[in-house]
């Protein structure tokens, strides 16, 4: 990332973190994904049951590689299972849930759009601790910009990634489709953590995910 852009995003992250804390989220900042991953390794207790939401960010950070086959944890592995639906349900009772966010606003809100809703369900209620990990490329000024970010970037890019036959893969922007394969079924604004500190937002000054 260009150093000048990195500097601006660092300043924006500081603003977002202050507002997130005002809204009862835990929040922290790291310059690199390696630093953030090390924090998780040192913080998450051994033998914890860990669920994850589908996330390019988690893959790019090395989180999925770290957890897969790791006997130190009880990883609810959605990527290597014959019963993903069971994994989704079990994840709602996990000790820890790891996910990203489609957008984080400078005024301290999370904005997410889901297809099945398992990811945002875990964010709302269930797992004892939720870590929401996002690159500073996902910072937006407000919820209006967050919605546009999903429509113009996150939704079309994820539809391409998942080989979905949806109009946005051709037009490059959300068309409010009702196709069977739509990934835009559930919309969630999280303006505060109902239980103080249950949700911990980690911002990383890198381009991560969509």
pLDDT, one tens digit per residue, over 10-55 is 999 999 999 999 999 999 999 999 999 999 999 999 999 999 999 9
CATH number at residue 77: 3.40.50
Q: pLDDT tens digits for 48-88?
A: 999 999 999 999 999 999 999 999 999 999 999 999 999 99
Per the structure, the complete domain to which residue 70 belongs is given by 3-105+121-140+189-204
Q: pLDDT tens digits for 169-188?
A: 999 999 999 999 999 999 99
In a domain, 158, yes or no: no
Q: What are phi and psi of 113, to 5 degrees?
A: -125, 130
Confidence (pTM): 0.96
In a domain, 21, yes or no: yes
Are 164 and 181 in contact, with CB atoms under 8 Å apart?
A: yes
In a domain, 198, yes or no: yes
Strand partners, 89: none
Q: pLDDT tens digits for 116-157?
A: 999 999 999 999 999 999 999 999 999 999 999 999 999 999
Burial label, 49 (beta-carbon count in 10 A; 0-12, 13-18, 19+): middle
State residue 200's pLDDT score. 98
In a domain, 116, yes or no: no
pLDDT class for 115, splitting at 50, 70, 90?
Answer: very high
Q: What is the mean pLDDT of residues 149-170?
A: 96
What whole-number distance in Å separates Cα of residue 188 and Cα of residue 141? 17
What whole-number distance in Å separates Cα of residue 202 and Cα of residue 204? 7
In a domain, 160, yes or no: no
State residue 57's pLDDT score. 98
State residue 90's pLDDT score. 98
* Count of structural domains, the chain: 1
State residue 192's pLDDT score. 97
Parallel/antiparallel/unpaired status of strands 74-75 and 199-204? unpaired
């Amino acid at each position: 990332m260009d150093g000048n852009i990195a500097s601006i995003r660092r300043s924006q992250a500081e603003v977002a973190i202050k507002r997130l804390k005002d809204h009862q989220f835990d929040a922290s900042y790291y310059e690199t994904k390696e630093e953030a991953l090390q924090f998780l390794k040192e913080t998450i207790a051994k033998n914890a049951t860990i669920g994850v939401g589908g996330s390019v960010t988690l893959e790019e950070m090395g989180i999925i590689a770290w957890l897969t086959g790791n006997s130190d944890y009880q990883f609810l592995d959605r990527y290597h299972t014959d019963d993903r639906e069971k994994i989704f349900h079990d994840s709602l009772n996990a000790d820890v849930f790891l996910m990203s966010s489609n957008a984080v606003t400078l005024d301290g809100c999370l904005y997410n759009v889901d297809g099945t809703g398992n990811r945002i369900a875990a964010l709302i209620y269930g797992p004892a601790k939720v870590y929401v990990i996002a690159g500073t490329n996902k910072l937006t000024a407000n919820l209006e910009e967050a919605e546009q970010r999903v429509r113009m970037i996150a939704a079309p890019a994820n539809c391409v990634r998942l080989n979905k036959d949806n109009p946005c893969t051709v037009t490059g922007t959300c068309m409010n489709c009702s196709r069977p394969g739509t990934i835009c079924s559930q919309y969630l604004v999280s303006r505060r953590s109902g239980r103080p500190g249950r949700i911990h937002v980690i911002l990383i000054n890198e381009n991560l995910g969509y």
